[in-house]
Amino acid sequence: GKVLVTGANGYIAMWVVHTLLEQGYTVRGTVRSESKAKHLSKVFASYSEKLEIVVVPDITKEGAFDEYVKDVDAIEHTASPFHFKAGEPDELIIPAVHGTTRVLESALAHGTRVKRIVVTSSCASVMQVQDTPRKFSEEDWNDAAIAEVREKGRAASQPAKYRASKTLAERAAWDFVAKNKEKLTWELVVLNPPYVFGPAIHEVGAPESLNESMHDWFHSVLKGSKDPKQLSTIGSCWIDVRDLAEAHVLAIKKEEAGSNRIIISEGPWKWQDWIVAAREAGVSPPVSDDSYEPSKAVHHILYDTTKAAKLLGLKYRSIKESTRDSIEDFKARGWL
Ligand code: NDP
């Protein structure tokens, strides 16, 4: 089969492309400019016959994907801004929402072969900031982030702006499907991962240009950027980027996954869990909280992952394995 991957040069998308190619798929990846195609072609040089890169300069433009959906069997829509530097919330919301809608519109109008569309949403569109522990499921929506952004505009917190963009984009996808139900020849699958960590194969020149989640990981775990007091209290849930890529492929393969919103998460962590794993992998993180007792950690945000287990049967890498491989990656880059 042939699969269209949007934002193919991104941290997660590069692993999605890798996994698709390894499993025998032909891939068409979209990037925003010609210069971003180079690294992709280099990394996947051994698959040159199975990989095509096309330039879609503006994913929000009407008909942006019309030409590129015509001969594909499935679409993986990953392109969406993820950073904490937005001024107006619309800087994130417009590309997130319109980018998603354009993909679906093009698929409806021209994707005669398309059977499956996978949208990379996020736990950002599921969770809400908590003072007490709570387990979230696919029933939950982050309406609080939307409310904060509507109320405060530019002054909303950066996480709220990002989370609102993901929630609104995912809502737009499900609304589109509901509105066009009778006409669709494909089914939507939405994947909701929490923090994504693990080695990078996309183009990264320096630690500063790592994608948002690995930038945080690199500096928090290996460069001591966190206050030691926060190491055993601050955390969330996570998934290894390679497992997330596998989930993207399973989401097009598994018949029963169709029309589902699916949370995929290995489990919770505190920064100190990664620091312990880094030490086991042979490096000495500059800050540590050795009083940490994992069994006493209070995790405020947890996810019900029974749906993922049932529909995808995904296996997850451990904190230990992910840390070891990320460190190996950073060592190979000469950063450690
Ligand atoms: P990256 O920043 O590495 O990749 C983002 C991709 O989206 C790039 O291809 C980027 O293109 C593209 N993109 C960003 N802004 C725009 C825009 N305005 N118009 C068109 N394309 C754009 O991030 P990730 O790989 O981490 O993120 C990929 C997806 O996964 C996103 O949808 C993100 O929300 C989601 N996600 C990520 C998590 C994480 O922890 N990393 C957690 C949960 C979900 P360019 O290089 O040209 O900027």
pLDDT digits (tens, 9 = 90+) for 312-321: 999 999 999 9
- Distance from the CA of 209 to the center of ligand 1, in angstroms? 13
- pLDDT tens-digit profile of 219-239? 999 999 999 999 999 999 999
Q: Are 130 and 118 in contact (CB under 8 A)?
A: no
Q: Which of 239, 226, 228, 323 is nearest to 283 (CA)?
A: 323
Q: Are 146 and 162 in contact (CB under 8 A)?
A: no
Q: Are 120 and 248 in contact (CB under 8 A)?
A: yes
pTM summary value? 0.98
- pLDDT tens-digit profile of 15-42? 999 999 999 999 999 999 999 999 999 9
Please indicate whether residue 95, judged by its CB atom, sits closer than 6 Å to ligand 1. Answer: yes
Handedness of CA 230, 231, 232, 236 (dihedral sign): positive
- Distance from the CA of 328 to the center of ligand 1, in angstroms? 24
Mean pLDDT throughout 42-53?
Answer: 98
Cα 123 to its chain centre, rounded Å, is 9
First to last CA, the chain: 40
- Distance from the CA of 86 to the center of ligand 1, in angstroms? 14
Closest atom, ligand 1, to C-alpha of 124 = 43
Q: For position 315, what pLDDT does the model report? A: 94
Report the distance separating Cα 80 and Cα 66, nearest Å. Answer: 19
166 is catalytic: yes
Model confidence at 171: pLDDT above 90: yes
Q: Which of 235, 269, 257 is nearest to 308 (CA)?
A: 257
Q: For position 199, what pLDDT does the model report? A: 98
Report the distance separating Cα 19 and Cα 188, nearest Å. Answer: 20
With the most atoms of ligand 1 within 8 angstroms of its CB, the residue from 12, 38, 220, 240 to mutate is 12
Q: How many helices (H) and strands (E) does the chain have?
A: 10, 12
Q: Count other Cβ atoms within 10 Å, centred on residue 67.
A: 12
Q: For position 130, what pLDDT does the model report? A: 87
Report the distance separating Cα 149 and Cα 168, nearest Å. Answer: 11
Average pLDDT across the chain, whole number = 98
Q: Count other Cβ atoms within 10 Å, centred on residue 154.
A: 12
Report the distance separating Cα 113 and Cα 226, nearest Å. Answer: 49
Q: Are 6 and 118 in contact (CB under 8 A)?
A: no
Which single residue is written with the structure tokens 């100190």? 272
Q: For position 147, what pLDDT does the model report? A: 98
Q: Are 197 and 216 in contact (CB under 8 A)?
A: no
Confidence band of 71 (pLDDT split at 50, 70, 90): very high
Q: Which of 177, 77, 81, 172 is nearest to 119 (CA)?
A: 77
Angle of CA points 156, 132, 151, to nearest 5°: 20
All residues at 6 or more sequence positions from 101 whose CB lies less than 8 Å from its CB, including other chains? 172, 173, 176
Backbone torsions φ then ψ of 293, nearest 5 degrees: -125, 105
Q: For position 331, what pLDDT does the model report? A: 97
Q: What is the dihedral of CA 94, 95, 96, 97, to 10 degrees?
A: 50
CATH fold for domain 2-201+240-266+301-316: Rossmann fold (3.40.50)
- pLDDT tens-digit profile of 249-303? 999 999 999 999 999 999 999 999 999 999 999 999 999 999 999 999 999 999 9
Write down the ipTM of this complex. Answer: 0.99
Report the distance separating Cα 219 and Cα 208, nearest Å. Answer: 9
Mean pLDDT throughout 127-132?
Answer: 92
